[in-house]
Each structure stands twice: as C-alpha cells, then as structure tokens.
C-alpha cells in the first residue's frame, strides 16, 4: 500500500491517495464559480491529484464566510461547476465539493481584505446563526440560536446542495464540520450551550451533523462516497477532543459517511496549536485505529516521502495537501518521480516526463 496505490471508495476509485484540500478562493459573485475556478481546480487534475475538492461551498447565502464565497444554494450554480467537473474528470481526478455553512463565523471580509467581521453596511449580512447566542470573538456579530425550524432548514439546505452537486457531475462530497463553522459549533461544548436535544450530552451535540450526513446519504447515490471534515481537537480545555472524534467516526460511518478528514482547531480564537510538519497526522491515525473508519490526514504534508510513509504505515488512507499544491500544482507528478512510481502523465506533457 503506497501513496500511488488506487483507493476504491464505494463505486469510485481514486487513482492515488492524494487529495486537493478545500481552499477558499473568495472569488465568486453571488456564489457563482467562474474561469478562475476552472483554471485553479483544473490545474490540480492535470497535475495528477486523485481527488479534487472545491473550496467550502455555501449551502445557503447566510452560511457564506465572506460575500465572495462559492455556493450551491440555487440551481443556477450548477452549470459552471459541471463544466469544471467535466474537465477535472477528463483528466483522471475524482471531482467533488466541500459543503459548508459558516454559522457564527459568517459575514466576514475575505482573507486578503483582513478577514474581520463585516456589518451589513460594509457588505455583510445579519442575522447570522449558531447553536447558541455566543459570538466567535469580540467584535463579531452575536449569532441567533437556531430553533427547531431553523435546524430543519439547515438539514434541508445540505440535502438540496448535495442534489445540486450531483447535477454538477460531482462524484464525492465532503461535509465541512471543522474549523469552527456551524456543524463544528454544534459539536463543541464551548460553542453549544443548548439544553434541548441538540445540546448537552455527546449524543445531543452530534445530532445535527448525523442528521446532515443521513439527509445527504438519502439523495446521494449508494455508489458515491461522502467524506466529513472534523476538527479532531479544539486544542483547549473543555473543548471537543480526539476521543469524541473517534467515537463520532463510528456513528457517521453507520449514517453513510466513508471517510473522516482529520483537521483541527478553528472553534475559538487565541489557542496555541503546535504547528510543524504533519502536526495533525496523529489525529488521523488515532481515529483510524480507534474506529476502523478510513481517514484523511492533512496539515503541513509537503514531501513525497512523508506522504508515502503516512499511507504505508497505516496512519491514514488519504493525504490532503493545500498550500504545497498552490506552490506546485503538479506535485503528484513530481512525487511519483521521486518515489519511482510509474504513473501516466497527460499526453500533452509526456515529452517532459523522462527528462531527456
């Protein structure tokens, strides 16, 4: 088993274990993808990735992080994404999207404009929603606590977005339940202080995410996989833990999920995260060994040998790369060369393959 061993997930086979980690581009108008997304995402398929996931894609407009987020909240969004999908698939990668709702972290400026909270007069919106009326940080809007009808609308929005993802020729969806966004906010006792059936006990805090997974599975073909990105730890006292992540992985698999993408953090500001090469890989390993569910590792995985070792040693089934793929979108082709793996290159590039 190596980085370049194909991975079957239900009826879909990844040509290798390298996934493009979702990366917000903050370049959409009214949620629409455009030529930027075609070139940005297309380059990774040309570069040999096994799976290309779009950035966090909002299931409702009020669930965007910034006004420029990508969306799948209306049928009109489908066509451009399908066009991108045809390109990505034609170049051998599995195509999908990360479905997201920002919850209390919605309505902020895009990253390169500071990322700070936006009021409606600055182009943001109100209200924003969350499990409880607790803001992310000082200066951020206080979310409205979702009532039962609001929760039901969130579940339906994820389900409808999955239907549109299918229309956009996607073969995989990843549910964003990490980085302090809405579904993670329900998981963690630090942001969820509800006393109804969506708060309090572990069973109650995980209920919304389980409902979302089950709702998506009800419309998503049996032959296609679903992933869930979780923050494996809030890295702070009293927060969500890797033990809970592992317990949840087993439940999510029963609900229809196929792998857990093990990220971390993002729920509360100003926590210390011990960042270094592969700093989250041990979470993927813990969850995989503890639950038997397939996992993805992500976070400062930059070298071919490092990625290969993660797969060979059984720490994770998939590695996701983000920033290193921005530096070198052809990283998988380079990695195969370094690891002396024989893989096919795009016909147009083959004259560069043998370096002579």
Ligand X SMILES: Cc1cc2nc3c(=O)[nH]c(=O)nc-3n(C[C@H](O)[C@H](O)[C@H](O)COP(=O)(O)O)c2cc1C
Q: Are 110 and 66 in contact (CB under 8 A)?
A: yes
Is 91 or 184 the residue whose CB approaches ligand X more closely?
184
Residue closer to ligand X by CB (options 129, 301) is: 301
Map the footprint of ligand X across residues 92-131, applying CB under 6 A.
Answer: 98
Binding mask 211-230 for ligand X (x = CB under 6 A): ------------------x-
List beta partners, residue 20: 52, 321
Rule CB under 6 A: say whether 295 interacts with ligand X.
no
Annotated catalytic residue 181: yes
Q: Which of 284, 273, 288 is nearest to 307 (CA)?
A: 284
Answer for the pair 234, 263: CB distance below 8 angstroms, yes or no: no
In the complex, the smallest distance separating the C-beta of residue 275 from ligand X, rounded to whole angstroms, is: 9
Residue of 55, 62, 160, 308 interacting with ligand X (CB under 6 A): 55
- 207-219 vs 148-167: helix crossing angle, rounded to 10: 30
Q: Does 21 bind ligand X (CB under 6 A)?
A: yes
Give the whole-angstrom CA distance, residue 157 versus residue 207: 16
CB of 261 to ligand X, least distance (A): 8
Q: Which of 34, 243, 324, 341 binds ligand X (CB under 6 A)?
A: 324
User: Does residue 341 belong to the site contacting ligand X (CB under 6 A)?
Assistant: no
DSSP string, 173-241: EEEEE-TTSHHHHHH-TTT----STTSSSHHHHTHHHHHHHHHHHHHS-TTS-EEEEEES--SSTTS--
The residue of the chain with the least Cβ separation from ligand X equals 322
CB atoms within 10 A of CB 18: 30
Closer CB to ligand X, 103 or 199, in the complex: 103
Please count the residues of this chain forming the interface with ligand X, following the rule CB under 6 A. 20
Residues in the chain: 356
- Catalytic positions are 181
List interacting residues with ligand X (CB under 6 A): 21-24, 55-56, 98, 176, 178-179, 229, 263, 298-301, 321-324
């Amino acid at each position: 088993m190596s980085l370049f061993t194909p991975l079957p997930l239900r009826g879909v086979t990844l040509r290798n274990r390298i996934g493009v980690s979702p990366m917000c581009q903050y370049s959409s108008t009214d949620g629409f993808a455009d030529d930027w997304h075609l070139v940005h995402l297309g380059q990774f398929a040309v570069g040999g990735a096994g799976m290309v996931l779009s950035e966090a894609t909002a299931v409702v407009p009020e669930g965007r992080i910034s006004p420029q987020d990508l969306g799948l909240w209306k049928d009109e969004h489908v066509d451009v994404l399908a066009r991108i999908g045809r390109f990505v698939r034609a170049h051998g990668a599995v195509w999908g999207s990360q479905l997201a709702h920002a919850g209390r972290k919605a309505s902020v400026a895009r990253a390169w404009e500071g990322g700070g909270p936006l009021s409606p007069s600055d182009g943001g919106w109100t209200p924003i929603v969350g499990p409880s009326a607790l803001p992310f940080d000082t200066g951020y809007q206080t979310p409205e606590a979702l009532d039962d009808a609001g929760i039901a609308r969130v579940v339906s929005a994820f389900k409808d977005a999955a239907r549109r993802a299918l229309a956009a020729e996607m073969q995989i969806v990843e549910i964003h339940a990490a980085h302090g966004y809405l579904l993670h906010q329900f998981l963690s006792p630090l942001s969820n202080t509800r006393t109804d059936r969506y708060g309090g006990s572990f069973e109650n805090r995980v209920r919304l995410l389980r409902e979302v997974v089950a709702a998506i599975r009800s419309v998503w073909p049996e032959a296609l996989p679903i992933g869930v990105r979780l923050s494996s730890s809030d890295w702070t006292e009293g927060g969500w833990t890797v033990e809970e992540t592992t317990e949840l992985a087993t439940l999510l698999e029963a609900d229809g999920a196929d792998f857990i993408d093990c990220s971390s953090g993002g729920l509360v500001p100003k926590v210390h995260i011990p960042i270094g090469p592969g700093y989250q890989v041990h979470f993927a390993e813990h969850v995989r060994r503890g639950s038997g569910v397939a996992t993805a590792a992500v976070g400062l995985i930059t070298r071919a040998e490092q990625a290969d070792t993660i797969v060979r040693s059984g720490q994770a089934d998939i590695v996701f790369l983000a920033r290193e793929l921005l530096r070198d979108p052809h990283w998988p082709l380079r990695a195969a060369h370094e690891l002396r793996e024989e893989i096919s290159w795009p016909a147009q590039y083959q004259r560069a393959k043998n370096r002579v």
